[in-house]
Chains A and B, each alone.
Chain A
Amino acid sequence: AQTVTQSQPEMSVQEAETVTLSCTYDTSESDYYLFWYKQPPSRQMILVIRQEAYKQQNATENRFSVNFQKAAKSFSLKISDSQLGDAAMYFCAYTGTASKLTFGTGTRLQVTL
């Protein structure tokens, strides 16, 4: 079975600074996708960024980028120029052949002035 681990329950970053959220996963599948979702207080899950396992190039979406280390089974999210609106729970998620998402336990990100 696939597992996703987020070892940082809470993180804090100052506005305009950069923060990195960690995620590791375990799988025996060769084809899979990894995602970062953001869940603000409204509880709406918002897709932030995705990474295909077969792609070596790290995904980037505006201020969000990932560091995908396939051999180490690591998938971290970097948020640059942090904004107050980035404050939320961030979930790392995995999907493979089963077409279901397996989530980590989440990291609560606080953004301070």
Chain B
Amino acid sequence: KAGVTQTPRYLIKTRGQQVTLSCSPISGHRSVSWYQQTPGQGLQFLFEYFSETQRNKGNFPGRFSGRQFSNSRSEMNVSTLELGDSALYLCASSLDSTESYEQYFGPGTRLTVT
């Protein structure tokens, strides 16, 4: 079974631009979560989508948004990019059954804002 895939792997953007990152979960997984990883703040939860609905949201400004499609693929969007948005963005998927809360991660998208 294929793992979680994220595209693109690397991205360079300029301040003020917007960016869209994509995540394809493991087949059969219905929950997709996004995390931001930076040297200063560590790993922080952005949001989680389940059945095309945002179920949980972390403490990030409204510039960070996401969505999930009917095939469970998810996208996250960051508008009006700031230098501080430079980070590794990780996507994780899970079955979201009562028997498994394990989240499996993709390779990440490294975003650099200049």
Contact = CB atoms under 8 A, between A and B. Distances in A.
A99 B56 contact: yes
A29 to B, nearest CB: 12
B88 A99 contact: no
Interface in A84-113: 91, 95, 98-103, 105-106
Nearest to A32: B101
Interface residues of B, number: 24
B15 interface: no
Contacts, number: 51
23 contacts: A33-B101, A33-B102, A37-B105, A42-B107, A44-B107, A45-B90, A45-B105, A47-B102, A47-B104, A95-B103, A98-B56, A99-B33, A99-B55, A99-B56, A99-B94, A99-B101, A100-B58, A101-B35, A101-B45, A101-B92, A101-B103, A102-B45, A103-B43
Interface of B: 31, 33, 35, 42-43, 45, 48, 50, 55-56, 58, 88, 90, 92, 94, 96, 101-105, 107-108, 110
